Structures are given as structure tokens and as C-alpha cells.
Amino acid sequence: MLSTMKATLVDATTHERIAALGQSVLNGGKITRADAAWLFELEATADIFDLMAWANRVREHFKGNKIHLCSIVNAKAGACSENCSFCAQSSHYQTGSPKYGFVDPEPVAAAANEANLNQVTAVGLVAAWKGLNEGPMLDEVCDRIAELKAGGKTRPDASLGIIKSQKVADRLKAAGLECYGHNLESSRRFFPNTCTTHTYEDRVQTIGYLKKAGLKICSGGIIGMGETREDRCDLAFSLREIGANVVPINILNPIKGTPFEKNEPLPVMEILKTIACFRLILPRQEIMIAGGRTINLRESQSMVFMAGASALMVGNYLTTLNQPVEKDLQMLKDLGLDPSWDSHDFSDQVEAGAGCGCGEQSCATA
């Protein structure tokens, strides 16, 4: 009898603590690192559903019923010099992934048309290479961005790797780019387990140049690579610090031939809990569910919105297949969610004073 009462008391305390944290975020408060770390450690399904209910309220409060849809074009595939352990496109691994050079205008225009037909807000040009420097390739990239912009069918985005100079970021902005995708991938501590051919610092510095150029930042990471819950928590706080506008959460799809090919998939409830924790840490940002959604969440995909997600990568994600976009649109309709997002919804996402992520307290490049 006594032990039953004790268990009920403990549960009530957990329930109340989750509610207090959710309410404080709804009231405009910021969750602390210690409270967030506690949320990441929740184990009981009932507690995770409790957390998701609050994450859903926070999403609705800050984002309404709007869902931001993005798609990507693989603008240059395979043979990448980098050794990211999760990636089918690295030249360091034998994965059988396709390889081709920089994309012509026609496939990009076709992707923009398709996006427009499917209420998809943005098309991102994604290139499998280390990064972009000044030179003829930058000219060609800028041409594709300018064509996308002039076509008026979609918001031009890009994910083109590491940038080492302000001039490159400024050229992309001048060509009409609005948002640049550059993931931190994981925590600073775990990052060397994912890649050794470039550093976390290279990534943070790139984001600094992009923000200075006035570009919106799409930056998130991958879960299920062997990182701890603490690493996931640290990633969310780093993304808050750098002032990311859109936060993609990818779920590892272990690719045969890569070092992570034998990684155990994360349980669905662990994935949903992670999304909910990100929503409480990043209440105003677009939290986007990107690669690995269909393979890892299967029939539970629609629950990402109840866990606080406000954005979805639709169509196929580089080497990872998603369910057809028509099915995604039907899923949104069934849930009363509206994909007609526009760029004005970027406003008021990032708190004043968010820096470039360099860690200097005085830095406020946002």
C-alpha cells in the first residue's frame, strides 16, 4: 500500500514538474539546461506523452496551425572529400550511392514547379562537397539560385557546405538566397565521432559568415548516431545560441558501407521525446523533421506534430526515401494543419542577442 502511494506521489511530482516547465515556456520563459537535461531523461511512456502534450501546446501557441514544408535537389552528388560517418555520399566509403557533377538549370526548374504544385515553400540546392570558395563554381551556384528566385515558384535555399570567407556568403545573398542549411550535426563533444576531415568550429564559423550576410539559418543535426541524451540536449542549446531559424532533426538511417551501418535504430518514443524537448528549448523556431522520418517512425509519423514539430522535409531526402508528398499533404489535412507558410513567419523566431555561436558573451551577430 505504502509503495503504491509512493509511486503515485513520484508520478504526480513528475507530472507537475513537466507542466510547470511547459507553462513557463508558454509564458515566454526560457528553459534551463538542467531542466532540459531532466526532460531528456524521462523514461515512462505516460511522462513522455505528458511532455508531448505541452510541446504541442507550445507549437500551437508560437506557430499556430502552420506547417513549413521544404524539399531539396541534390545539386551535386557523391564523391565528397569528407568522411562524415553517416553519409552515403562520402568518398571514404563504398555505398553505391550515385555520383554526378553540378546540376543543370532544368532539374532545378522542375523541382521548383513540383514544389509549387505541392504547397512546398522552399527548394534547397544541396551539394556533396566540403564547401564553396570564390571561383567559377560559385558563379554557377549563384546562377542556379538567381534562376530559382526569378522563377518565383519557390523560396531558394541552399546547403553548400563550409564557407571560409564573408565574400562568398555575401555573393549568395546577392544572388537571391534566403536561407542556408548547415547542420551542427551533434554536440561539440560528439562531433569528432561523426567527422574528422573538418571541425565543429569550421561549421560554427560558416554560420557566423552567413548570419553576417543576412541569411536565415537552417541548422540542426542527426540523432541515433550513438550520441547520448546529454549530447542531444547540448546540440539544442548550441542551436539556441547560434540563433538557428529552422532546426532540422534527422534520424539516422544506417547506410550499408558507412561506419554507422550497424547502429541500432532509436525507439520511436525516444525520437518523439527528443522532438518535444527541442520544442521546449527552441519554442519559436521551425522544428523540421527531415531525413530518416519514414524508415524510423513508420506509422507514427503524424505524431511528430504532437511532439512539437512545425516543419517537414518532403520528397526524398538525398539518399533517404520518404513517403510520397501526397501522403504527407493528406496527413496534414487530417490533422487540421496548414502548409501555406510564408517567409514572414520567420519573424520573431530568434531572440535578440543570439550570437553566431562563437561563445563570446558580447557577440550578437543576430
Is 311 among the residues that bind ligand SF4 (CB under 6 A)?
A: no
Number of other CB atoms surrounding residue 306 within 10 Å: 18
CB of 260 to ligand SF4, least distance (A): 12
Distance separating alpha carbons of residues 220 and 275, to the nearest angstrom: 12
Residue span binding ligand SF4 (CB under 6 A) among the ranges 62-70, 84-92, 116-124, 335-343: 84-92
CB of 320 to ligand SF4, least distance (A): 12
CB of 149 to ligand SF4, least distance (A): 24
CB of 254 to ligand SF4, least distance (A): 15
Residue 221 or 355 with smaller CB distance to ligand SF4: 221
Three-class HEC string of the chain: CHHHHHHHHHHHHHHHHHHHHHHHHHCCCCCCHHHHHHHHCCCCHHHHHHHHHHHHHHHHHHHCCECEEEEEEEEEECCECCCCCCCCCECCCCCCCCCECCCCHHHHHHHHHHHHHCCCCEEEEEECCCEECCCHHHHHHHHHHHHHHHHCCCEEEEECCEECCHHHHHHHHHHCCCEEECCCECCCCCHHHHCCCCCHHHHHHHHHHHHHCCCEEECCEEECCCCCHHHHHHHHHHHHHHCCCEEEEEECCCCCCCCCCCCCCCCHHHHHHHHHHHHHHCCCCEEEECCCHHHHHHHHCCHHHHCCCCEEECCCECCECCCCHHHHHHHHHHCCCECCCCHHHHCCCCCCCCCCCCCCCCCCCC
Residue 128 or 247 with smaller CB distance to ligand SF4: 128
Residue 86 or 209 with smaller CB distance to ligand SF4: 86
Is 160 among the residues that bind ligand SF4 (CB under 6 A)?
A: no
Q: Pick one of 67, 80, 276, 289: the residue that binds ligand SF4 (CB under 6 A).
A: 80
- Residue 295 C-alpha cell reads as 524508415
Beta bridge partners of 132: 163
Residue span binding ligand SF4 (CB under 6 A) among the ranges 76-84, 132-140, 249-257, 341-349: 76-84
Residue span binding ligand SF4 (CB under 6 A) among the ranges 19-27, 34-42, 85-93, 204-212: 85-93
Residues 93-152 contacting ligand SF4, CB under 6 A: 128
Q: Pick one of 87, 207, 223, 356: the residue that binds ligand SF4 (CB under 6 A).
A: 87
Residue span binding ligand SF4 (CB under 6 A) among the ranges 9-17, 79-87, 107-115, 304-312: 79-87
Number of residues engaging ligand SF4 in binding (CB under 6 A)? 8
Is 258 among the residues that bind ligand SF4 (CB under 6 A)?
A: no
Number of other CB atoms surrounding residue 194 within 10 Å: 21
Residues 161-180 contacting ligand SF4, CB under 6 A: 161
Is 84 among the residues that bind ligand SF4 (CB under 6 A)?
A: yes
Q: Pick one of 90, 285, 294, 320: the residue that binds ligand SF4 (CB under 6 A).
A: 90
N-terminal to C-terminal alpha carbon distance within the chain: 56
CB of 84 to ligand SF4, least distance (A): 3
Residue 128 or 281 with smaller CB distance to ligand SF4: 128
- Residue 197 C-alpha cell reads as 576531415
Is 82 among the residues that bind ligand SF4 (CB under 6 A)?
A: yes
Pair 144, 125: CB distance under 8 Å = yes
Residue span binding ligand SF4 (CB under 6 A) among the ranges 46-54, 82-90, 148-156, 281-289: 82-90
Is 219 among the residues that bind ligand SF4 (CB under 6 A)?
A: no
The contact set with ligand SF4 (CB under 6 A) reads 80, 82, 84, 87, 89-90, 128, 161
